Structure 1
Amino acid sequence: MPDSDVTRARAVLTRSPQERENEGIGTEAVNDALKTVLRDGTADEKTFEGCTFPGLNLDYEVVHGADNHPAVFENCTFEEGISAEKADIDMPLRFHDCTIDDLFLYHARFEYDVEFDGSTFTGTVQADETRFEQDAEFDDAVFEDTVDLIETGFYDDTSFADARFEAPASFRGSQFEGESNELDDNVSFAGAVFESETTFEQAHFEANRFDGATFQAPVVFTEVLFDHDTEFEGVVFEADATFDEIECNEDADFSDTHWQGTVQFRGAVFNGGARTMEDDASFEGATFEGATTFTEAQFRYSNFTRTTFDADTTFQETRFRGDADFTEARFSGLADFDETRFHQEALFTDSVFDGQAHFRGAEFEGHANQLEQNVSFDRARFADAAEFTGAKFRSVSFGDTEFTATMDFSGTDFTDDARFLLRAVGDDPYVNFTGASIQGGSITQPTEGWVRYDFTRVSLGDIDLSAERERDHRELFDYFRFCETIFDEFDGNEFDFEAHTDYLDRNEWKIHTFQDPVERGYAVEMTPEAIEATYLRAKNSASAAGDMKAAGEFRVKRQQYARKKHINIALDGSAGTTARAKNGIRAVENAFLGISCGYGMRIFRIFGVFAITPALFSLFYAFGGQVFSTSATQPVSVTAALTTPEGQAAFYKLLSFSYISFLTIGYGNIGPVGWGARILVAVEVYLSVILSGLVLYALIKRSEM
């Protein structure tokens, strides 16, 4: 087309709307003039500044310029907007600081880069299924009405940096793919402001940036795929945010984000990239003011250092395939980690749980680590109940951990090394290990704030019990309750009673009770039957380990509570007569064995019985009257036996007779006469035989110690 045609077209375009109206130049003529310049104009001719157009309609057009110079519109106004439905634009377009009403690009294709930097869209923006083959820039753009970029394809670098969306915006199903770019991100919404509802549902991003953006209304990122790095650092979410089932295949940075509404990351997957020096998912320093949910999410290396959760937080059934770092995190509401799996290290060091903490059924698998524990709650603080029921630990440390209410480890498995130095704050310092399995480790009582540990039905391995301050060791077993505890389940890793002999001696070998100021319901009532079973297991374990001192002492304790059991049955009116009689006899036998020799552990008691029993029987011979008379003369009275030579001589003969009879020597110079004396002599001989056997029994038991 001759240059004069482009010149005439520019003359039409550079006129003001009033001038065009005065000359009768209509909208169609202006549009034709624009297409003429776009197609045939030079670089200068395709540049417009400060012009006002009724609109630009390129519907179904194939727009191809005579050269590749872009069409540039600076500070121009398109009163009726721009429309390019199913158009094929084969030239660069620049709309800088323009004012555009509607932007309708349905099913269009832009083969070259398009720029709308600083432009204001006063009407709706719709670009459904549009393809931007090269760069698309909307930096500092203002969208005053709704934006629909549904299933739009952005195949090179795309930027909405510092843009403002004043009405609802939808990027549902859009593709932000770009090309490999190591210097910059393919998609940027950095610093953008979203004033109304926004959705990126089912969108697909390569590398992207949202750092510094602000979402003032609810935003949805459901089922979004982030193939490369994802940057949300410092983003402010003033309303609800939904990231359900997103997938991040490289590093995702949500550090220093501020979430003021409810937050959902249900089923989110953070796979992370190949870089081992960076966190695959970082929420470091983030603040969550509303309820937060990460249920069934998956992380590789994750960082929640110094993260603040001001409301209930849920990580139920979440999987951490790499290290999980919650150092200095704060949970003001419920912290729910039920059935969460930590495959590598999990750090809750210096974390604070102001509300309840639930780790029920959680699995802390860890990995081979010789220098430190796989899981750390060191210096953490629990201000409310903490539940670890049914959890599984490989190695864990609760060093200098403070807690206020009950810590419940019922049914928890500690398969390697568990270290506890808990400090109680408050009136209920109780740790419940009922039914737990602890293979090895240590429990240390602090200098202040001692803790009560309940080992009811615990399988206890090689775990060391100690006090932080040496002089407190004498009180150690006042704070541990053993009830039906199993001490020898782990072959080669049994509980070592010998290491605690001094403390048990000071505690009279009592292990079944502790001082508890709070009335609570225990899993097993401490009945004589339960206590007997406890000491029987302790005795068997100590005996198998060759600790005969402990085995003997626990045998004594077991017999003492067995006697109480027999007495209870004997006195139970609901029990059968035979059972009551048998248990009554067993109680008497038990009492005799305890009094006479301390169940084989107190041999000097037998010597005492040997020394005292004949003297007691001699009182009957001396002062029992005719029934207990012997061939020797009885003293006239007790006074005479103590004060007169004749009485003393008579009493001495009868005392000698009693000892001779008891020892079965029988010199024959004195014999029983009364029927009572004959019976007592037989009883003495019988007792002598029994006590002789007890001496042998006690000597054998003591030789085993």
Structure 2
Amino acid sequence: MSVGTCAYSFDPVAWEEEHGRSAALDERWSCPREAEGETDRCRFHLSPARRAELGIDDESVCESLVSELATGEASSLGFVGAEFGTIDVSHRVLDRVTNHPIDLRHVTVYGEFLAEQTVLRQPLLMDEIRVEGAADFTDAEFGEDVSAERATFRGDAVFDGTDFEDSARFGGSTFARPASFDRVRFGDVADFYRARFRAPCSFEESAWRGACLFQRAAFRSDVTFTASRFHARTDFRTVQFGGTSRFNRCEFEDAAVFMNCAFAAEALFKKASFAQPAHYQNADFDSEASFTETEFGDKAKFQFATFDGEAVLSYIRFGGATYFKAVDFNSYASFYKSTFDRLGDFRNATFADTARFLKAEFTDEAFFGRATFVGDGDFRSAAFRGTVHFVETTFRSSATLRESTFERARFENVRTAGGDVTINLERTTVDGGRFVQENGAAVYYNLRRSRVGDVDIEMADSEGVFERFLFYRTEFDGFDFSNYRYVLAPEWVLHTFRGTVDDTYSLEADRFAIEDDADEAPGADGGAADESGGGPGEPADGGGVRSRLAGWLADGEASDLEVTYLKAKNGAERVGDSQSASRFFIKEMYYRRRTHVDRAFAHKESLRSRLKLLFLVAVNLTLSATCGYGEKPRRTIGFSLVTVVVYAALFAAVVTDPPFASPLGYGLLSVQSFTSLIFGPTATVPNFAGSFLAATEGFVGAFMIGLFIFALTRSVHR
């Protein structure tokens, strides 16, 4: 028989003093139910031990709970501070007319809390609830708000397939055992602010239609969000990820915030998509971070982040501006085949190991100003369709950008660690840009087999411009040599490069490449031998042992240098620089002769071929001596004077009587013979030998006069 109303009351002030934190209630709450039997409390507020003494088992308490929930009175929904053994409301529909919440705040469940496939149409308050056993809400449906802030789940917590149609709040809650929210659907705000997950947890294939809030949450073990979809803002600000975090194939339709996060183990964002800005500023990645095949539709911000493990950002499409400013990459960093549709900002970034931008594509401007590459900088086959800025960038090891394309490149005051660094731009296309090196650093540029457009070069040592640049089989399309005449004159030598040609490290395909590229086979990595057969500073195959004379005459690089100056001549002609074109043409012809000599002394050539080559050498020498290959009319004049003098001496040897009765008559006769094939009455040659000399000199003279007119006209045109 009942002795009256339940004496239990919850005093938030006393509770806060005892526990040192805010209570879930602001005001004192008293139980309105009748006391159980001879006790002073209802069966919900009796301790399990006292209920056992009275013969009240957990099943009857659970039935009483369901009965209370089925009544129409709002007062019957309050269970603040109640103590339960096991709660089992599985496979039930709890749909009251009233919207008054079911109040389980500060409740203690010593056993399991089972609500599998339960349908609840009323708000549910579970703040400060403590569940000692497993909590199973599999496939449950909550039609109104659910609040479980600062709840404690000491057993496994299973919410697989649960549908929260309204807000769900688990802020400050603790999950001591594995927690599973797979396939859960959050219809409104889902708040896990400062939640603590002390065991593995999973949100795989979950759907978040409202804001997803995990600020300052802590995951001590692995967490999985694979294939989840976030329709509203996602906030993981200052979250601690103690185990592997998996966000593979996630879709973020609104802004995603991971600022100040700490990833102690692997951080996996493979094949994820971000439709709105993604924020990773000041994030710490202690282990591998992988964003392979992820798509950023808007801004991607990683400023001041730290990657202590390998950073794998390969096959990514950055649709918006991308910021990696002041990021520390303390291990291998890969942007293999990634695409930057908008600005790419890597200013002040530090790459402590290999930085691989192999086959990356930058559609807009790319900034690497004051970035530091401690390891190898690998930009092979990259495409820069906007301006790329390497301003005051530091390369401590090596840098290769071979086979890349540049719309406009700025290399200004590049720095080194004190030694020499050669930036490998071999086989690249540089349509425009500036190369400025005025800080005294020993930086060299290898532009072998490249195509150079409208590029300006400024060096602190202006006379050593071409000692810093390797132009070897380089094509010039818009490069203005006239700006460097004072450097090139008087020798007009381009191949004075003093840097190293070969890469100082072994190039490889990206270690995270999805497929093996055919062009990454041996010979395509920049370390294999060039098909040119050599280069400046590289010995070419001479075809066997040569004699000392052959070794002195032959030049193993001659064929390549011939092509080098041919391309330089063509480039100068394209910009209308006729003077440079003239000088480079002379160099081209000179190295063509050296090429013929080289082949003539090669054992692989037949005797007939050697004779032809020696004939070509003779013709080349003749053109050089007589007119400077048509570029130097003064040589024609000089050669003509020598011819007149030689023939005068020959006339003196074969004609006994001097013409005009004077020793100077031989000279006059030679001049007359040189300028005309027909003799006038002013001079006679009595014998056959003299007449033959006069005829041959006349032929040579006519040839030289024609050659002089050609060379003079050509030089005036130049």
Question: TM-score, normalized by length of structure 2?
Answer: 0.80
1:531 equivalent in structure 2: 561
Structure 1 stretch displaced more, 91-100 or 105-114: 91-100
Q: Which amino acid in the other structure matches residue 198 of structure 2? A: E
**Secondary structure class of the residue paired with 1:328:** coil
Do the aligned partners of 2:62 and 2:86 also contact (CA within 8 Å) in 1?
no
Q: Distance in 1 between matches of 2:149 and 2:224?
A: 22
In the alignment, the residues of structure 2 paired with residue 655 and residue 129 of structure 1 have an alpha-carbon distance, to the nearest angstrom, of 119
Q: Secondary structure at the match of 2:624?
A: helix
Once the two structures are overlaid, the 10-residue window that deviates more, 586-595 or 223-232, is 586-595
**Equivalent residue, structure 1, for 2:603:** 573
Instruction: State the alpha-carbon separation in 2 of the partners of residues 424 and 240 from structure 1.
Output: 38
> Who is 1:86 aligned against?
91
Letter in 1 for 2:286: E
Matched position secondary structure for 1:476: helix
Q: Distance in 2 between matches of 1:162 and 1:515?
A: 65
The residue aligned with 1:237 is 241
Corresponding position of 2:350: 352
Question: Aligned partners of 1:26, 1:291: CA distance in 2, in Å?
Answer: 53
Q: Which amino acid aligns with 1:197?
A: P
Letter in 1 for 2:229: L
Report the secondary structure of 2:489's partner residue: helix
Q: Is the 8 A contact 2:392 2:415 kept in 1?
A: no
C-alpha contact (below 8 Å) 2:429/2:450 kept by paired residues: yes
The amino acid of 2:197's aligned partner reads F
Query: Aligned partners of 2:199 and 2:617: how far apart in 1?
Result: 83
User: Does residue 373 of structure 2 align to residue 382 of structure 1?
Assistant: yes
- In terms of mean alpha carbon deviation, does 682-691 or 357-366 score higher? 682-691
Q: Provide the rounded CA distance (Å) in 2 between the counterparts of 1:402 and 1:19.
A: 76
- Structure 1 counterpart of 2:717, one-letter code: E
Trace 1:548-559 onto structure 2 (pairs within 5 A). Answer: 548-559=578-589
Secondary structure of the residue aligned to 1:228 is coil
CA distance in 2, matches of 1:565, 1:691: 27
Q: SS state of the match for residue 542, structure 1?
A: helix
Between the two proteins, what is the percent identity of the paired residues?
26
Q: Give the drift of 1:650.
A: 9.4
Q: Which of 341, 346, 354 is residue 343 of structure 1 equivalent to? A: 341
Partner of 2:327: 329
Of 182, 196, 201, the match for 1:198: 201
C-alpha contact 2:468 2:497 (8 A) present in aligned 1: yes
Partner of 1:433: 425
Q: Give the secondary-structure state (helix, strand or coil) at the position aligned to 1:580.
A: helix
Contact 2:66 2:89 in 1 (8 A): no
1:406 aligns with 2:398: yes
Q: Verify the 8 A CA contact 1:12 1:30 in the aligned structure 2.
A: no
User: Residue 448 of structure 2 contacts residue 472 of structure 2 at CA under 8 Å; is this kept in 1?
Assistant: yes
Distance 1:518 1:545 in 2: 29
| Residue-by-residue CA offset, 1:199-219 (whole Å, 9 max, x unaligned) | 110011121111111111111
Residue 173 (structure 1) aligned with residue 186 (structure 2): no
**1:129·1:152 contact (CA, 8 Å) conserved in 2?**
yes
Whole-angstrom CA distance in 1 between matches of 2:356 and 2:50: 75
Q: How many Å separate the matches in 2 of 1:31 and 1:326?
A: 57
Take 1:18 and 1:317, find their aligned partners in 2: how far apart are those partners? 62
CA distance in 1 between counterparts of 2:332 and 2:52 reads: 69
470, 483, 486: which one pairs with 1:502?
486
Q: Which residue of 1 aligns with 2:630?
A: 600
* Structure 2 residue 289 is matched with structure 1 residue 292: yes
Q: Hey, what does 1:104 align to over in structure 2?
A: 114
- Name whichever of 391-400 and 193-202 sits farther off: 391-400
Paired residue secondary structure (1:442): strand
Contact 2:416 2:443 in 1 (8 A): no
Is the contact made by 1:632 and 1:653 (CA closer than 8 Å) also made in structure 2?
no
Larger mean CA deviation between 299-308 and 521-530 belongs to 521-530
Aligned partner of 1:282 in structure 2 is: 279
Alpha-carbon offset, residue 620 of structure 1: 6.5
Secondary structure of 1:134 counterpart? coil
Task: Report how far residue 559 of structure 1 moved.
Answer: 0.6
Distance 2:694 2:218 in 1: 104
Match of 1:505, as an amino acid?
A: A
1:72 is aligned with what amino acid? Answer: G
SS at match of 2:701: helix
Deviations 1:246-305 (A, max 9, x none): 011111000111111111101101111xxxxxxx11001111111111011011211111
Residue aligned with 1:561, SS: helix
Q: State the partner residue of 1:256.
A: 260
Decide whether aligned partners of structure 1 residues 466 and 693 sit closer, same or farther in structure 2, where only a CA change above 3 A counts.
same
CA shift, 1:309, in A, is: 1.1
Match of 2:469 among 469, 474, 480: 480
Task: Give the C-alpha shift of residue 152 in structure 1.
Answer: 0.9
The Cα shift of 1:529 comes to 2.4
Question: Any conservation in 1 of the 2:420–2:442 contact (CA below 8 Å)?
Answer: no
Distance (whole Å) between structure 2 residues aligned to residue 500 and residue 224 of structure 1 = 61
Residues 331-381 of structure 1: CA deviation (Å, up to 9, x unaligned): 122221111111121111221222212222222223xxxxxxx22222222
Q: 1:522 to 1:408 in 2, by over 3 A?
A: farther
Task: Please give the residue correspondences for 1:528-677 in structure 2 after superposition, counting only pairs within 5 Å.
Answer: 528-615=558-645, 628-632=653-657
| Pair 1:225-2:229 in alignment | yes
* Corresponding residue number in structure 1 for 2:455: 463
Q: What TM-score results when the alignment is normalised by the length of structure 1?
A: 0.82
Instruction: Report the Cα distance in structure 2 between the residues aligned to 1:265 and 1:412, rounded to whole angstroms.
Output: 29
Alpha carbons of structure 1 residues 35 and 487: separation in structure 2 relative to 1, 3 Å: closer
The 3 A distance-change label for structure 1 pair 670 and 339 is: same
| Equivalent AA in structure 2 for residue 441 of structure 1 | G
CA distance in 1, matches of 2:51, 2:288: 59
Q: CA deviation at 1:547?
A: 1.9
- Corresponding pairs, count: 627
Distance 2:53 2:76 in 1: 31
One-letter amino acid matched to 1:382:
F
Matches of 2:375 and 2:46, distance apart in 1: 75
Find the residue that maps to 2:74 and give its secondary structure.
Answer: coil
148, 168, 172: which one aligns with 1:162: 172
Q: Does 1:265 align with 2:269?
A: yes
Distance in 1 separating the partners of 2:104 and 2:322: 47
Q: Structure 1's 29 and 191: CA in aligned 2 closer, same or farther, altered over 3 A?
A: closer
TM-superposed CA distance for 1:99, in Å, is 2.5
Q: Is the 8 A contact 2:362 2:385 kept in 1?
A: yes
Task: Letter of the 1:536 partner, please give it.
Answer: L
29 and 201 in structure 1: CA distance in 2 versus 1, 3 angstrom threshold: closer
How big is the shift at 1:653?
A: 6.6
For 1:146, the equivalent position in structure 2 comes to 156
| SS of match in other structure, 2:619 | helix
Contact 1:423 1:446 in 2 (8 A): no
**Partner Cα separation in structure 1 for residue 236 and residue 569 of structure 2:** 62
- Give per-residue Cα distances to partners, 1:593-634, cap 9 Å, x unaligned: 223332233333333334444445666777xxxxx453159x
- 1:209–1:412: structure 2 CA closer, same or farther, 3 Å change rule? same
The one-letter code sitting in structure 1 at the alignment partner of 2:368 is F
- Looking at structure 2, the residues matched to 692 and 549 of structure 1 have their Cα atoms a distance apart, in angstroms, of 23
How much does 1:562 deviate?
Answer: 0.9
In the alignment, structure 1 segments of 5+ residues that lack a partner are 39-62, 179-185, 273-279, 367-373, 489-493, 623-627, 634-648
Distance 1:77 1:610, change over 3 A: same
- Counterparts of 2:424 and 2:311, CA distance in 1: 24
